Amino acid sequence: MSFTLTSPVTGGAQTGFTTPAYVISVDTAPTSAGKQYAVASLTGTQTGVDTSSTPSKPFTITLSRPQVLRSLGVVDPVTGVLRSVPRNSYTIRVRKGTIPLAGQAPVVAQATLVIDVPAGSDLADTANIRAMLSLLFGGLSQISASIGDTVVTGVI
């Protein structure tokens, strides 16, 4: 699997952060179909942010693919149409321990990105799969700080 991150990971722009970056170390993924990294240290100005320090306050990123990759089903011999098109789901999940109220125990926040790819399109239409992902990551990068502001303020 080529889901491999190199350290440090340059963070996206966020209000109040100056050149955020995350020094990561290899961690144990929940399944054999994934890779996981823990944030070992921070660079840049990220006041109030802590690293992956305890099981109750993680700061991890997990990249995974389906345990079993699905392939195309059977084409109906009469209509020539696929009876069903299964999907392969790839997941990127970031977990971060957060404090809901001063003096309280940490609670884990999660950001999950699921990429559903119809089986067969990974061979028959690679350019459009790549275009979909290009727009996704370009758009997210462009509005990284705005997403952070919206999640913190509730204003979209």
| Dihedrals phi, psi of 151, to nearest 5 degrees | -65, -35
Q: What is the pLDDT of residue 56?
A: 87
Length of the chain: 156
Predicted confidence (pLDDT) at residue 143 exceeds the cutoff of 80: yes
Q: What is the pLDDT of residue 74?
A: 86
Q: What is the pLDDT of residue 1?
A: 46
Q: What is the pLDDT of residues 60-109, one digit of tens each?
A: 999 999 999 999 888 889 998 998 899 999 999 999 999 999 999 999 99
Predicted structure pTM score: 0.88
Distance CA 39, CA 53 (A): 9
Query: Per-residue pLDDT averaged across 41-70, rounded?
Result: 93
Closest to 18 in 3D by CA, of 59, 60, 46: 46
CATH fold for the domain made of 9-71+85-153: Porin (2.40.160)
